[in-house]
Structure 1
Amino acid sequence: MTKRFGHKAARAQQILLSVLMETLEGSELCFPQLLNTSCRKTGRPHFETMLIYILLSSLSLITAVLNLLVIISISHFKQLHTPTNLNLLSLAVSDFFVGLLIFFQIMLIDGCWFLGDLMCVVYQYLAYIITSASIGTMVIISVDRYVAICHPLHYSTKVTQKRVQVCISLCWMCSVILHSLNLKDILKQPGRYNSCIGECVFFISYIAGLVDLICSFIIPITVIVVLYIRVFVVAVSQARAMRSHIAAVTLQKSVKVTAKKSEMKAARTLGVVVVVFVICTCPYYCVALTGQDNLLNAAFVTFEIFLIYVNSCLNPLIYAFFYPWFRKSIKLIVTLKILQPDSCDALML
């Protein structure tokens, strides 16, 4: 009788231990009710997880708000409807969406995706499109500054608002078409590469990855660097010429010199934007170019993605530092003066 009772007690202890083990395992799963098919959560210390949450949430909010201010400023005030500012508007739109996409990245902190396979594909698809559109906009900005500095007499006839609008539209359309082709298999069958429920990953073919690398990085960066080297050389020579002849200019020429300085300042400001963009995006694409991404740890890959997010937040700060019209427009927006009649006709420059 004692042996039978001891056997039952031992059996009960085994069952209890088994239940406790399943509970502990279930607590580490994305979907505890799916023990055999659920993905496991990423094991991070609580302090580290909370720090990442706070950092990404703050970055997302600041990025979205600052770029929304740029979008409202350029869209509302008629005096800011210039070809150069239309390029900045396109860049601000892409950066604004980056700020929104950071919220999706926050959901992946613990390694679990709860929105389903379709939303995973939509998130990744939009991320590819926005990144390519940003790079394409940077190319358009470089061309704009190249024509303004190197061919100033033809700028007003070659660079018009309508042509810039067409170029920006083509930039976004090409980005959509390119990544629709690259990701067509994944768009048809979301979640085909997931190994468990709660995962948000996918792979593209070698050819598609190579096309994306060439079209979204190598060609645009080459064009940007070449054009801005040319702009820099011409800007330096023009600055020297203006300093050497400053004493002999007439009033009429003085106006031309002032206009030239304005173009030079715009070139310098947008040059800072381009340089910051290249610094923030090069690490990600350079790793892809070398093909050594599998050898790098997750921390470095996370840092690369974080740099891209930071770049979208830095652009409005650069505008605020260099452009008085942006600082003035922020005051009008914050104080709600843009709601007044005829506020769109306010003098901003």
Structure 2
Amino acid sequence: MMEVHDGAELCFPQLLNTSCRKPLISWSDAVFLCFLLSSVSVLTVSLNLLVIVSISHFRQLHKPTNLLLLSMSFSDFIVGFVFMPGEILRKTSCWFLGDLFCSLYIYFAAIALCSSVGNIVLISVDRYVIICDPLHYPTRVTVRRVKLFISLCWLCSNFYSSYLVKDDSLQKDKYFSCYGECVLLVDYTLAYVDLVLSFIAPVTIIVVLYVRVFVVAVSQARAMRSHITAVTLQHSVTVTSRKSELKAARTLGVLVAVFLMCFIPYYCVSFAAGNILNSSYGILVPCLFCFNSCLNPLIYALFYPWFRRAVKLIVTLQILQPGSCEANVL
């Protein structure tokens, strides 16, 4: 019993019976974790800022698909700016910022998680329509409609995150937790509802849509190869357009695949641990989720020439020149 109340192991030694114990992590592991997450956090914030500035500044990029990528980059920016620093504090030391900042951290972390899922679902729907119903894509998927759905995505994420914080406050009133930690407490009913709404339903939609997109894309690629030698000049333009659409589908397919590989382990382990965003299940899985937000801009740079051209104009400060928003980056 004396070891439990050893002041050296408590976050607040003066509060022997109500203080949390310090995280059981070695000094070397703490330094490594701080360096890793800090580096990934800075890289995530920087790269996603480049995406945000690129799509926001250049008018040529104001297209439905790019607006979805812009919304995704905002989610990734929140992960790098809020979620990662919060994880460093929670995993390597006691939480000394108080309940208010803990609630704000949970709120923004939940927004980043929910909006990421929503954006990936919207991206999947966008690719499904342009591949499976290309003739109606310009009329069905307009900039105005995409902005509307993006706004609804963020509004729902905000509402859901606010409800999580409110429920967390009610749970903490019922079940007192020690001082010096920042965790999210939810009841089993909300946990199972969250499992369906934030995990099972969206992942099912994403997988079903992309299986359909993959089947149609393969059949179209075969059709193009079989007729490529007998097309007219006018038809060759159509074939080139279809090739561009298929390439875009493959690119966003990689984006979705990477997201699922990083998101599914995070959510499975966090739910198995009994909480949604808590730290009792180790370090590797949340780091994997954070790393996904850093990978997305690298995927853009690898597959999208317009992003590389836009970054060049941003880094060289050419975007400060008058009329730079009309520059040709496509």
Normalization by structure 2: what TM-score? 0.92
Question: Counterparts of 1:329 and 1:87 in 2: how far apart (Å)?
Answer: 17
Contact 1:117 1:190 in 2 (8 A): no
Letter in 2 for 1:260: R
Task: Give 1:48's aligned amino acid.
Answer: D
Deviation at 1:50, TM superposition (A): 0.8
Q: 1:128 aligned to 110, 115, 119, which one? A: 110
Q: Work out whether residues 65 and 123 of structure 2, in 8 Å CA contact, stay in contact via their aligned partners in 1.
A: yes
Which of these residues, 169, 176, 184, is aligned with residue 166 of structure 2? 184
Residues 1:229 and 2:219 aligned together: no
**2:96 match:** 114
Give the aligned partner of residue 7 of structure 1. Answer: none
Paired residue for 1:267, among 249, 257, 264?
249
Partner Cα distance (2:6, 2:159) in 1 = 44
CA distance in 1 between counterparts of 2:104 and 2:172 reads 9
Match of 1:94 in 2: 75
Aligned partner (choices 14, 29, 52) of residue 48 of structure 1: 29
User: How has the CA–CA distance of structure 1 residues 95 and 111 changed in structure 2, closer, same or farther, with 3 Å as cutoff?
Assistant: same
CA distance in 2, matches of 1:29, 1:292: 23
The 1:194–1:45 alpha-carbon spacing in structure 2 relative to 1, beyond 3 Å, is same
Larger Cα Rg: Structure 1 or Structure 2? 1
Equivalent position SS for 1:118: helix
The alignment partner of 1:245 has SS state of helix
- Where do 5+ consecutive residues of structure 1 fail to align? 1-20
Residues 36 and 182 of structure 1: is their aligned pair in 2 closer, same or farther, counting only changes over 3 Å? closer
How many Å apart are 1:140 and its aligned residue?
Answer: 0.4
Larger mean CA deviation between 116-125 and 89-98 belongs to 116-125
Deviation, 1:77, is: 0.4
Distance 1:54 1:292, change over 3 A: closer
Is residue 313–residue 319 contact of structure 2 (8 Å, CA) maintained in 1?
yes
Structure 1 position 210, deviation (Å)? 1.1
Confirm whether residue 311 of structure 1 aligns to residue 292 of structure 2.
yes
Shift of 1:189: 7.9
On the 8 A contact 1:193/1:202 being kept in 2, the answer is no
- What is the Cα deviation at residue 299 of structure 1? 8.1
What fraction of aligned residue pairs are identical, expressed as a percent? 60
Match of 1:140 among 122, 133, 141: 122
Counterpart amino acid of residue 268 in structure 1: R
Shift of 1:121: 1.4
Quote the offset at 1:36 in angstroms: 4.2
Tell me if structure 1 keeps the 8 A contact 2:44–2:293: yes
SS of equivalent to 1:108: helix
**CA separation of 1:242 and 1:201: change in aligned 2, threshold 3 A:** same
1:59 to 25, 40, 54: 40
Displacement after TM superposition at 1:284 (Å) = 2.5
Structure 2, unpaired ranges of 5+ = none
Distance 2:242 2:191 in 1: 43
The equivalent position to 1:250 in structure 2, one of 201, 225, 232, is: 232
Contact 1:194-1:202 at 8 Å conserved across structures: no
Q: Which amino acid aligns with 1:277?
A: F
- Give the equivalent residue in structure 2 for 1:336: 317
Q: Distance in 2 between matches of 1:110 and 1:51?
A: 10
Match of 2:299, SS state, is helix
Structure-2 change in CA distance of 1:211 and 1:43 (3 Å): closer
Tell me the TM-score normalized by structure 1: 0.87
| Equivalent pair of 2:108/2:161 in contact (CA under 8 Å) | no
* Preserved CA contact (<8 Å) 2:171 2:185: no
Which shifted more, 181-190 or 117-126? Answer: 181-190
Tell me, in whole angstroms, the C-alpha distance in 2 between the residues paired with 1:131 and 1:251.
47
Amino acid at match of 2:80: G
Aligned-residue offset at 1:91: 0.3
1:79 counterpart (60, 66, 90): 60
| Contact 2:38 2:85 (8 Å CA) reproduced | yes
Query: Per the alignment, do residues 190 and 345 of structure 1 end up closer, same or farther by CA in structure 2, a change over 3 Å counting?
Result: farther
Q: Is the CA contact (8 Å cut-off) linking 2:64 and 2:146 kept in structure 1?
A: yes
